[in-house]
């Protein structure tokens, strides 16, 4: 709806709606001629941000970039394949715990542990997705919620995950003699991950699989009639999404140096989902914007003390009421 | 022309958000006051305890300011909401560090406190940890953090000794599934089994569950001489009430997280005869009694279990700043390390080489007539 | 206690807990029925209902007494207040979103939940409020199985409310309209049904039931706090899905089943209290794998 307005405005420059400013701003990216310029501006901004701002801003932006990776992953599940997932933090947890446990119990080292963590997350995706993807989305939502809680409770109860105290003393990685440990270094690691995540998301969306997702999302029965194996296609979305989550978790664990079950709660899953829908499901710049709002919003309101979440929630509500399809929705939906 | 304007607008949009962040990292207070950071959860499910701790710091700062402040300067508090979440805590700590705080008081939820140690350590900011007491904090401490809450081991010793003296043979241990209460429960189980006694049941409840009747039935069926609740008063009050309602007649003991007058508000008369292990606090020192009254007057409810300790934390930090005679971090940390066992609300404070509390003087309280009294 | 005694006692425990779950699950299911929304703010309505009930009881407890008589008045007023709050929430936050993509409205529900929770957090400074009543501990002892009078009143009240709801939905004009709206909103509009009004009534009833549960829970367990809606909201949502979301008998059955699962899960050796939620959620997943529409749900195709 808002997109129609935006495209109409491109032909007719007379502003007519109160949100014209934002739409106009966002339209920069929709215009192929200006697209690369805008990308370049964003990349330069990302590259110089830690040089311009202090350590606090760097830490927050690192957190936002982590959310970009997680949100792009969930976007594949929710935005591309149209599956409602309320337990995405589970995959985030699998990645984080796998790399922490392997680092502590084996001599693998960080980089060698990554493939195992990814396989573990993909396996988790298959285990939960395999039997349940035939369900309607509301039922799938509660199954994923249940799965998320099972993972969190298991982390809380098991010895190997350090029970409620979690795992601490996770070694920070080295790469070719470069020891990654300062906030700025981690910022660039997450910036790099985000760029990869964006590129992979773009390529996936334009791939054969991406078109299959689009088809399944719009009309499952018709897709099936056209020979698309909808369960396999959905499962692929699930597995790819879980790998994104695990990558986020792996680097989250080494960045913090300590993990505990509190990080993988239902609220975490809900926050990631909020970011995806708030920004505009299915559309990469929208999802990125959503991730930044969800992280920066409460952070900018920190001085309000216990009021900050209240003010943030009212803000969310207003945004949704004024832009019901998300701030920057996909034109296809 | 329009391209530039739009691009400019977009840049301005991003810049405004980032500017907000970097503005926020400017020192919040005017140059002539001393800024102290308070890292506690003020949102999320743990805000109950976090706000309680924050209130205690407010009372301490107010008392110091009324007496003319520190080094002739007024104390200003700045909150760092950890939300009991490791990432949120790191964000809060980074913000406090960027605001050039002279010191930080607080630390609730060991999982959230742990990753902040490195941040304060890198900035060499003195950090008085007043509630988190997981032993995992010790190896992660770069030397600038001081734990004034005793670790679970001390309390376990007292609990086992006391229950043995009461002739208790079998005990049901119940925790709440968080680091603090799980740690205390595990330590107690091990010590109790080592003493050759029986652990009749070892259970975990979820915070905020309200209904513990199924657990009560299970405990009744296991028929232990005592039930030991290792977590906080909010759920503990409910459990005690339901244990008594369900007809359990054995001994009930609770850990220091339940040592609050609020336990009686929630559990009512079911809390009569309940034993609590605690730092020598609350009504048992004249100073502590006046603290309790001030707290009640100012905030309309009774102080929670960590309020006296957190008040002490602020006072101890103030004492160290006075002793150092400067707001430079190094001398304050040295002053803290030299804490010489003088009496605070929660007893004497001095530190081991690991910056943990160098004493174990837990006392046993008993619920009598709706308040805590010393148990014989 | 013999094993039979233990199991009988757990049955009683499960029924009491299940009654709360069922009352809250009903709201979830009814609201889902009419606007296909997973109303995440529902648990928080339960919480606010508890606080309103507490406020009323504090005000009238002096004259009416703070036992079941006073509590009944508190519950009734809280139900009306929360019913109205439910209607306001629907009008302000959900109604403008009905034409938007289905998941967008989920975010407004989450935002409303945050607003309610943090408002109460701010108002109470996050402190736990003791819900003082004059209820006794007395009860009936049958063999070794102990049932308190409070538990009987509670389960009885929940049953009454559910019977009243069932009668309303199956016998009255608005009840029929509600069922019709949940099947096909557009067709209802064509048939001259005031859909907006039906939706408002559904929110009123759903929220009122949550308020009844919130007030009773506060009085029965003895304390209320700003976060108490979270866990029960999650559990009631689960219960509604087990029963088949959208189905009213399903929500009642789902609530009781979940309550019983948790009670017996606590008792099963090798599972124990720390794994009981894992047990419940595993059962839930298994139920859905083998009966994908829940126990009472109708199968239907859907588009997101």
Residue C166 contacts B, CB cutoff 8 Å = no
Listed residue (A310, A237, A322, A325) closest to A280, CA to CA: A325
| Cα–Cα dist B314/B311, whole Å | 5
For residues B220 and B169, membership in a common domain is answered with yes
Sort B277 into a burial class: Cβ within 10 Å, 0-12 / 13-18 / 19+: buried
Q: What would the mean pLDDT of B335-364 be, rounded to a whole number?
A: 86
Judged against a pLDDT cut of 70, whether residue B95 lies above it is answered with yes
Does residue B205 contact residue B239 with C-beta atoms inside 8 Å? yes
Asked if the structure places residue B156 within a domain, the reply is yes
Question: What is the interface size between A and C, counted as CB pairs within 8 Å?
Answer: 135
Angle at C156 between CA C154 and CA C162, to 5 degrees: 105
Most confidently predicted of A190-199, B284-293, C234-243 = A190-199
Asked if the structure places residue B164 within a domain, the reply is yes
Interface of C with B in 225-244 (CB under 8 A): 225-228, 230-232
State whether C114 and A149 contact (CB < 8 Å).
no
Does residue C175 contact residue C257 with C-beta atoms inside 8 Å? no
**Six token digits for residue A275:** 């970011």
In sign, the C-alpha dihedral spanning A296, A297, A301, A307 is negative
Integer-rounded Cα Rg, in Å, for chain C is 19
Residue B295 parent element (H or E): helix B286-299
For residue C118, the chain B residue with the least C-alpha distance is B43
pTM score of the predicted model: 0.91
| Cα–Cα dist C286/C304, whole Å | 24
Asked if the structure places residue B271 within a domain, the reply is yes
Q: Long-range CB contacts (< 8 A, 24+ apart) of A218-222?
A: A218/C303, A219/C303, A220/C301, A220/C303, A221/C301
Judged against a pLDDT cut of 60, whether residue A154 lies above it is answered with yes
* Backbone φ/ψ region at B71: left (φ over 0), alpha (ψ -120 to 50), beta: left
Residue B111 contacts A, CB cutoff 8 Å = yes
| Cα–Cα dist B338/B345, whole Å | 18
pLDDT of residue C61: 80
Q: What would the mean pLDDT of A252-263 be, rounded to a whole number?
A: 93
State whether C114 and A217 contact (CB < 8 Å).
no
Show residues of chain B in contact with C128, CB under 8 Å.
48, 234, 262, 265-266
Confidence band, pLDDT 50/70/90 cuts, at residue C287? confident
State whether A306 and B6 contact (CB < 8 Å).
no
For residues B294 and B344, membership in a common domain is answered with yes
For residues B190 and B208, membership in a common domain is answered with yes
* Backbone φ/ψ region at C299: left (φ over 0), alpha (ψ -120 to 50), beta: beta
Overall size of chain C counted in residues: 304
Listed residue (C205, C294, C299) closest to C254, CA to CA: C294
**pLDDT tens-digit map of B240-250:** 999 998 889 99
Mutate to test the interface with A, among B2, B16, B18 (most CBs of A within 10 A): B18
State whether A324 and C97 contact (CB < 8 Å).
yes
For residues B127 and B43, membership in a common domain is answered with yes
Show residues of chain B in contact with A34, CB under 8 Å.
3, 6-7
For residues B252 and B202, membership in a common domain is answered with yes
Last residue of a domain, one of B220, B253, B278: B278
For residues B106 and B157, membership in a common domain is answered with no
For residues B262 and B323, membership in a common domain is answered with no
Show residues of chain B in contact with A28, CB under 8 Å.
3, 6-7, 10
For residues B129 and B203, membership in a common domain is answered with no
Interface of B with A in 38-77 (CB under 8 A): 42-44, 47, 51
Q: Tokens 């009004």 — which residue?
A: C197
Share of chain B above pLDDT 70, in %: 90
Asked if the structure places residue B200 within a domain, the reply is yes
Confidence band, pLDDT 50/70/90 cuts, at residue B141? very high
Mutate to test the interface with A, among B109, B136, B186, B231 (most CBs of A within 10 A): B136
Q: Which domain holds residue B89?
A: 34-150+287-350
pLDDT of residue B283: 55
Residue A275 contacts B, CB cutoff 8 Å = no
For residues B249 and B206, membership in a common domain is answered with yes
For residues B167 and B262, membership in a common domain is answered with yes
Asked if the structure places residue B365 within a domain, the reply is no
> For chain B, how many structural domains are there in total?
2
Q: What would the mean pLDDT of B356-363 be, rounded to a whole number?
A: 81
Asked if the structure places residue B23 within a domain, the reply is no
Question: What is the interface size between A and B, counted as CB pairs within 8 Å?
Answer: 153
Asked if the structure places residue B52 within a domain, the reply is yes
Show residues of chain A in contact with C118, CB under 8 Å.
306-307, 309-310, 313
Q: What would the mean pLDDT of C120-133 be, rounded to a whole number?
A: 91
| Cα–Cα dist A277/A293, whole Å | 12
Strands C139-142 and B363-368: unpaired
Q: Which of the residue ranges A15-24, B12-21, B249-258 would you say has the lowest mean pLDDT?
A: A15-24
Q: What would the mean pLDDT of C245-260 be, rounded to a whole number?
A: 92
Q: Which of the residue ranges C4-18, C47-61, C283-297 would you say has the lowest mean pLDDT?
A: C283-297
Asked if the structure places residue B368 within a domain, the reply is no
- The ipTM assigned to this model is 0.92
**Shortest Cα distance, chain C CAs vs residue A178, angstroms:** 42
State whether A56 and B14 contact (CB < 8 Å).
no
Show residues of chain A in contact with B77, CB under 8 Å.
none
**DSSP letter string over A40-70?**
HHHHHHHHHHHHHS-HHHHHHHHHHHHHHHH
**Shortest Cα distance, chain C CAs vs residue B25, angstroms:** 25
Q: Which of the residue ranges A136-150, A313-327, B143-157, C286-300 would you say has the lowest mean pLDDT?
A: C286-300
Does residue C39 contact residue C31 with C-beta atoms inside 8 Å? yes
pLDDT of residue A312: 92
For residues B39 and B144, membership in a common domain is answered with yes
According to DSSP, the residues that pair with B129 across neighbouring strands are B106, B147
Mutate to test the interface with C, among A132, A133, A143, A163 (most CBs of C within 10 A): A143
CATH number, domain containing residue B123: 3.40.50.2300
Q: What would the mean pLDDT of B225-254 be, rounded to a whole number?
A: 94
Interface of B with A in 188-247 (CB under 8 A): 204
pLDDT of residue A15: 39
Between B52, B202, B265, which is nearest C130 by CB? B265
Strands B170-175 and B198-204: parallel
């Amino acid at each position: 709806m808002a997109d129609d307005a935006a495209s109409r405005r491109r032909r007719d420059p007379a502003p007519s709606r109160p949100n014209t400013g934002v739409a106009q701003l966002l339209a920069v990216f929709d215009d192929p001629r200006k697209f690369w310029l805008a990308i370049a501006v964003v990349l330069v901004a990302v590259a110089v941000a830690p040089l311009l701002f202090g350590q606090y801003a760097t830490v927050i932006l690192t957190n936002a970039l982590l959310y970009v990776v997680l949100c792009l992953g969930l976007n594949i599940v929710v935005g591309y394949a149209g599956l409602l997932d309320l337990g995405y933090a589970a995959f985030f947890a699998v990645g984080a715990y796998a790399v922490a446990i392997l680092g502590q119990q084996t001599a693998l080292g960080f980089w060698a542990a990554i493939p195992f963590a990814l396989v573990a997350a993909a396996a988790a995706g298959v285990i939960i997705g395999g039997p349940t993807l035939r369900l309607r989305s509301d039922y799938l939502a509660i199954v994923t919620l249940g799965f998320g809680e099972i993972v969190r409770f298991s982390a809380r109860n098991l010895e190997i995950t350090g029970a409620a105290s979690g795992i601490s003393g996770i070694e920070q990685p080295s790469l070719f003699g470069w020891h990654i440990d300062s906030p700025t270094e981690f910022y660039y690691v997450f910036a790099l991950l985000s760029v990869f995540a964006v590129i992979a998301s773009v390529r996936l969306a334009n791939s054969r699989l991406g078109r299959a997702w689009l088809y399944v999302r719009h009309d499952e029965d018709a897709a099936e009639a056209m020979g698309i194996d909808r369960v396999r296609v959905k499962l692929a979305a699930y597995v790819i999404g879980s790998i994104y989550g695990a990558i986020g978790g792996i680097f989250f664990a080494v960045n913090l140096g300590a993990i505990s079950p509190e990080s993988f709660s239902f609220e975490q899953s809900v926050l990631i989902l909020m970011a995806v829908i708030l920004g505009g499901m299915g559309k990469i710049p929208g999802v990125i914007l959503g991730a930044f709002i969800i992280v920066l919003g409460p952070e900018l309101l920190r001085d309000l003390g216990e009021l900050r979440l209240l003010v943030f929630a009212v803000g969310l509500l207003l945004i949704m009421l004024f832009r019901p399809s998300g701030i920057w929705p996909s034109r296809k939906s | 022309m329009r391209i530039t304007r739009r691009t400019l607008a977009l840049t301005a949009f991003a810049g405004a958000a980032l500017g907000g962040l970097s503005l926020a990292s400017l020192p919040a207070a005017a140059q002539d006051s001393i800024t102290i950071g308070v890292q506690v959860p003020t949102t999320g499910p743990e805000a109950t305890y976090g706000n309680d701790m924050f209130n205690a710091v407010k009372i301490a700062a107010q008392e110091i300011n009324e007496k003319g402040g520190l080094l002739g300067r007024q104390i200003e508090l700045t909150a760092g909401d950890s939300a009991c979440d490791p990432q949120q805590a790191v964000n809060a700590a980074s913000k406090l560090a960027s605001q050039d705080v002279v010191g930080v008081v607080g630390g609730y939820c060991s999982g959230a406190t742990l990753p902040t140690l490195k941040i304060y350590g890198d900035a060499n900011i003195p950090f008085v940890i007043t509630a988190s007491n997981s032993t995992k904090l010790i190896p992660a401490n770069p030397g600038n953090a001081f734990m004034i809450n005793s670790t679970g081991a001390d309390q376990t010793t007292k609990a086992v000794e006391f229950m043995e003296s009461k002739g208790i043979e079998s005990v049901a241990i119940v925790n709440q599934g968080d680091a603090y209460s799980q740690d205390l429960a595990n330590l107690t189980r091990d010590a109790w089994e080592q003493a050759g006694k029986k652990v009749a049941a070892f259970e975990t409840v979820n915070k905020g569950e309200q209904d513990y009747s199924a657990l009560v039935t299970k405990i009744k069926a296991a028929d232990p001489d005592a039930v030991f609740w290792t977590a906080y008063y909010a759920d503990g009050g409910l459990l005690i009430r339901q244990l008594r309602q369900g007809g359990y007649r054995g001994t009930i003991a609770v850990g220091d997280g339940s040592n609050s007058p609020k336990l009686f508000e929630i559990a009512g008369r079911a809390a009569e005869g309940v034993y609590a292990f605690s730092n020598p606090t609350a009504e048992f020192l004249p100073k502590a009694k006046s603290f309790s009254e001030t707290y009640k007057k100012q905030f309309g409810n009774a102080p929670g279990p960590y309020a006296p300790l957190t008040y002490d934390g602020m006072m101890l930090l103030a004492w160290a700043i006075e002793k150092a005679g400067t707001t430079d971090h190094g001398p304050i940390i040295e002053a803290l390390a030299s804490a010489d066992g003088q009496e605070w609300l929660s007893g004497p404070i001095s530190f081991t080489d690991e910056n943990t509390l160098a004493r174990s003087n837990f006392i046993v309280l008993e619920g009598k007539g709706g308040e805590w009294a010393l148990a014989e | 206690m013999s094993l039979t005694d233990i199991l009988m006692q757990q049955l009683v425990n499960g029924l009491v807990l299940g009654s709360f779950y069922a009352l809250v699950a009903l709201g979830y299911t009814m609201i889902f029925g009419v606007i296909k929304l997973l109303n995440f703010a529902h648990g928080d309505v339960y919480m606010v209902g508890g606080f309103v009930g507490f406020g009323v009881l504090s005000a009238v407890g002096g004259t009416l007494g703070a036992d079941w008589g006073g509590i009944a008045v508190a519950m009734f007023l809280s139900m009306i207040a929360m019913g109205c709050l439910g209607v306001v929430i629907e009008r302000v936050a959900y109604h403008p979103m009905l034409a938007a993509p289905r998941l967008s409205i989920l975010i407004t529900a989450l935002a409303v939940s945050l607003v309610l929770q943090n408002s109460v957090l701010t108002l109470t400074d996050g402190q736990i409020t003791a819900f003082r009543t004059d209820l006794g501990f007395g009860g009936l002892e049958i063999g070794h199985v102990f049932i308190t009078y409070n538990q009987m009143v509670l389960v009885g009240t929940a049953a009454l409310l559910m019977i009243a709801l069932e009668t309303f939905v199956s016998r009255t004009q608005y009840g029929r309209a509600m069922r019709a709206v949940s099947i096909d909103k557009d067709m209802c509009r064509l048939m001259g049904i005031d859909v907006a009004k039906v939706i408002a009534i559904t929110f009123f009833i759903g929220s009122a039931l949550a308020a009844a549960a919130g007030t009773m829970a506060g009085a029965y367990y003895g304390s209320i706090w700003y976060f108490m809606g979270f866990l029960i909201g999650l559990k009631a949502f689960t219960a509604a899905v087990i029963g088949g979301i959208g189905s009213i008998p399903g929500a009642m059955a789902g609530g009781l089943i979940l309550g019983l699962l948790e009670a017996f899960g606590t008792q099963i050796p090798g599972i124990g209290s720390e794994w009981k939620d894992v047990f419940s959620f595993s059962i839930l997943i298994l139920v859905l794998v083998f009966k994908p529409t829940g126990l009472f749900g109708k199968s239907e195709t859907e588009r997101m």
